[in-house]
Amino acid sequence: MPFGVPGWKWKVGRFGYVMEKESNYEEIKTKARDLLEKVSKGAAWKCRCGTLHVPLLIEGEIIGELWEDVDPKEVEIGAYWYGRWGTKVQLVKDGRVVGFLWLA
């Protein structure tokens, strides 16, 4: 199975790529929480429009990003969505989305 997630795969449907089986939200939250325990923050930078970008790293590999300078261990897991290259999870602090995490 692609992306290391058992039980689902991409297939080409009438309107592009579709999923055959959706993962359980509790499993996604658990996996995201496990990754956040291991994550470290990379070098922060600002784009031309002034938005802060703080990469989230595990063993030198970027697995997500924060848009505010918050502690990754204090964020909550929000909504998730599937993309062509895996699952993305919102990182929420005080009711605001402050970043995202890739679950490959």
Mean pLDDT along residues 54-63:
94
Q: Which backbone phi and psi does 11 adopt, to 5 degrees?
A: -135, 155
Q: 25 with 70: CB under 8 angstroms?
A: no
Pairing of strands 16-19, 96-103: unpaired
What is the pLDDT at residue 104?
Answer: 72
Q: Which residues are within 8 A (CB) of 37 and not within 5 positions of it... i.e. 6 or more apart?
A: 73
DSSP secondary structure code for residue 39 in this structure: -
Label residue 6 by pLDDT band (50, 70, 90): low
pTM for the model: 0.75
